[in-house]
Amino acid sequence: MDASERAGQLLMVGLDAGARRTSLDTLVTQRHLGGVILLGGWFNGADRVRATTRHLAGLASDRATAGLGLLLAADQEGGQVQQLRGDGFTRMPSARVQDQGSPGELTADATRWADQLRTAGINVNLAPVADTVPTSIGSANGPIGAHDRQFSSDPDRVSRMVGAFIAGMRAGGVASTVKHFPGIGRITGNTDFTADGITDRTTTVDDAFLEPFRTGIQDGVELVMVGSAIYSRIDPGTNATFSKAIVTDLLRGRLSYDGVVITDDVGAAKALAAVPVAQRATRFIQAGGDITLTALPSTIPALHEAITTKMAADPAFAKQVEAATTRVVDLKLRRGLANCA
């Protein structure tokens, strides 16, 4: 792959439910994008999703995407966060309700949900949530607790259910993503909507709340999503997305994760509003990350051009891009989205 193709493989863009099916065609083919996520609430059933994913998958070609298929993703956690609904998709309960059953029951349910995703053309689920929300915070935790997105307030219980969810997704043929590393259960602000209340002053590099992520890694989870909160006892003042101490030293080092690392949304997230758009992908890659996810297609040109420009000017950064692209290609090989020819 040339520099432009490598840069494109490290970007995932959102397709809103209200947008035309073809609205991303030029971006995908000219920017050589590696993935698309369906956003905005696709509530009209599996047939519409299947038609969209079939169209998107058909954009892949030697010229457009270096012969690599697209990662086609959805946020399918359950409860309030289930982007795909309607005929062909079971209405999924929230993680708090999922936790009321046994791990075995959750694996069986997740297998069925994964079958539905795979049939609709989705190959990556940006779930499960591995965050632990302490009872002392509860619903005051804006991103997770307020919406019952956590399995439990006990990290050991979260670990078991995370493992069960991943096992079901894998049995149904869909890649999983544990999120939002290193955990956003102790903050009050939702990083999507505010830059206030997003500093975690408790979590450390040997925190018990890291165990659900460690479990996911040991169980072979395909992706880890890094959140945008700030951790004053790990890397003060730096959003996790841009923190080498978190992405490289903690996730890849202490937790021994060598797979694909993806951002939470960097396009519209208010927590990152002070960071120029063009720097959001390059800083993530420098921290040790791989795929930058943006909900806003309008940000793709700036992100893509920033990566290619920095590659040309900085050999060390170019090597980081090569390593990141290799991890993405390896994932695609394992998912049947590439070949070794």
Residue 106's CATH number? 3.20.20.300
Provide the domain limits for residue 215: 90-334
CA distance 305 to 85: 35
239: β partners: 230
Q: Does residue 320 form part of some domain?
A: yes
Say if residue 158's pLDDT is above 50: yes
Which residue, 290, 282, 122, 265, is CA-closest to 192? Answer: 265
Q: Does residue 304 form part of some domain?
A: yes
pLDDT of residue 338: 85
Q: Does residue 67 form part of some domain?
A: no
Residue 268 DSSP label: S
Q: Which residues neighbour 316 within 8 Å (Cβ) at sequence distance 6 or greater?
A: none
For the chain, what is the domain count?
A: 1
Mean of the pLDDT values across residues 226-233? 98
What confidence tens digit (pLDDT) does each residue in 31-61 have? Answer: 999 999 999 999 999 999 999 999 999 999 9
Say if residue 249's pLDDT is above 70: yes
Q: Does residue 49 form part of some domain?
A: no
What confidence tens digit (pLDDT) does each residue in 253-273 have? Answer: 999 999 999 999 999 999 999
Q: Does residue 101 form part of some domain?
A: yes
Q: What is the 3-class SS of 13-62, one letter each residue?
A: EEEECCCCCCCCHHHHHHCCCCEEEEECCECCCHHHHHHHHHHHHCCCCH
What confidence tens digit (pLDDT) does each residue in 268-312 have? Answer: 999 999 999 999 999 999 999 999 999 999 999 999 999 999 999
Percent of the chain's residues with pLDDT above 70: 99
CA-based R_g, the chain, Å: 18
Q: Considering the chain, what is the average pLDDT of its residues?
A: 97
pLDDT of residue 340: 52
Q: Does residue 316 form part of some domain?
A: yes
Mean of the pLDDT values across residues 191-210? 97
Report residue 127 CA to chain centroid gap: 8
Q: Does residue 313 form part of some domain?
A: yes
Say if residue 341's pLDDT is above 90: no
Assessment of whether the complete model's pTM goes beyond 0.85: yes
Q: Does residue 110 form part of some domain?
A: yes
Q: Do 308 and 14 form a contact (C-beta atoms < 8 A)?
A: no
Confidence of residue 339 (pLDDT cuts 50, 70, 90): low
